[in-house]
């Protein structure tokens, strides 16, 4: 399995340094979200408390993206507990997932700024946010498909388990893609649905495991 041509003793490694690097990116991205929160600039006569309340979209977007990155980390954790070997293909697919994770603070900030805009721009911002999450879901699916196909999992799963796991990732991707469509109906509703999807994925995983 491991050919030793070239400099490297093996093209397969354990996953510990991938996990450490990924944990780093997840931890930094989730913490950088706070930099997108801005202190309100008060106009003369304006009070701080109503000005903060008026900024609820940025707090709602912050909370939603925090929940999403947090649950992505939990799920990344769960997935990699089942992966025992890594090759460069897995490293690159994982970099793809990290790309969409590290990028998330940008559409979060965009979404927050345009959430209450009464023009078509609110729909565009919601769609950009949902597209980012759809691409992250596709990246998750592609990692799982790759590790199954290249026998990098810890133990061979039976066909029913493989089918269920692939189905779960596919459904997730479809739900996120549907949220792109929803963006053109209502931006605030899209944010709420994204938050509920994150919570659901947290609990749904809990349920299938117990």
Task: For the segment 63-92, give every residue that binds a copy of itself (CB under 8 A).
Answer: 63, 66-67, 70, 73-74, 77-78, 81-82, 88-89, 91-92
Backbone angles phi, psi at 86, to 5 degrees: -125, 140
In the complex with a copy of itself, the residue whose CB is nearer, 132 or 173, is: 132
Beta strands in the chain (DSSP E): none
Residues 171-200 that bind a copy of itself (CB under 8 A): none
Question: Please, which residue, 70 or 175, has the CB nearer to a copy of itself?
Answer: 70
Q: How far is the CB of 9 from a copy of itself (least distance, A)?
A: 8
Pick from 56, 121, 174, 196 the residue near a copy of itself by CB under 8 A.
121
- 107, two tokens: 């559409």
Size of the site for a copy of itself (CB under 8 A): 76
- Interface positions, 129-168, toward a copy of itself (CB under 8 A): 154, 157, 161, 164-165
Nearer to a copy of itself, 25 or 136 (CB): 25
Quick one: tokens of 100? 């969409």
Q: Using the rule CB under 8 A, which residue among 83, 97, 105, 193 binds a copy of itself?
A: 105
Give the residue among 83, 96, 98 at the shortest CA–CA distance from 12: 83
Is residue 17 packed enough to be buried (19+ CB in 10 Å), middle (13-18) or exposed (0-12)?
A: exposed
Considering only residues 3 to 42 of the shown chain, the ones binding a copy of itself according to CB under 8 A are: 3, 5-9, 11, 13, 17, 19-21, 23-35, 37, 39, 42
DSSP letters for 8-49: -S-S-B-SHHHHHHHHHHHHHHHHHGGGG-----PPTT--HH
Q: Residues 52, 174, 189, 192: which binds a copy of itself (CB under 8 A)?
A: 52
Burial (CB count <10 Å: 0-12, 13-18, 19+), residue 206? exposed
Find residue 86's DSSP bridge partners.
Answer: 13
């Amino acid at each position: 399995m491991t050919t030793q041509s070239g400099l490297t003793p093996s093209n397969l490694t354990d996953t510990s340094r991938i996990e450490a690097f990924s944990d780093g990116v997840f931890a930094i991205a989730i913490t950088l979200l706070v930099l997108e929160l801005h202190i309100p600039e008060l106009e003369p006569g304006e009070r701080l408390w109503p000005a903060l309340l008026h900024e609820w979209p940025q707090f709602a977007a912050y909370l939603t993206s925090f929940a999403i990155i947090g649950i992505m980390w939990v799920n990344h954790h769960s997935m990699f507990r089942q992966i025992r070997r890594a090759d460069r293909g897995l490293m690159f697919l994982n970099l793809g997932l990290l790309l969409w994770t590290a990028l998330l603070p940008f559409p979060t900030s965009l979404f927050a700024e345009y959430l209450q805009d009464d023009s078509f721009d609110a729909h565009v911002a919601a769609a950009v946010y949902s597209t980012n999450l759809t691409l992250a879901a596709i990246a998750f699916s592609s990692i799982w498909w790759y590790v199954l196909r290249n026998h990098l999992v810890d133990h061979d799963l039976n066909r029913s388990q493989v089918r269920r796991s692939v189905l779960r990732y596919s459904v997730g991707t479809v739900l996120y893609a549907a949220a792109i469509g929803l963006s053109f109906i209502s931006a605030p509703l899209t944010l709420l649905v994204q938050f509920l999807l994150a919570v659901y994925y947290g609990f749904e995983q809990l349920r299938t495991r117990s």
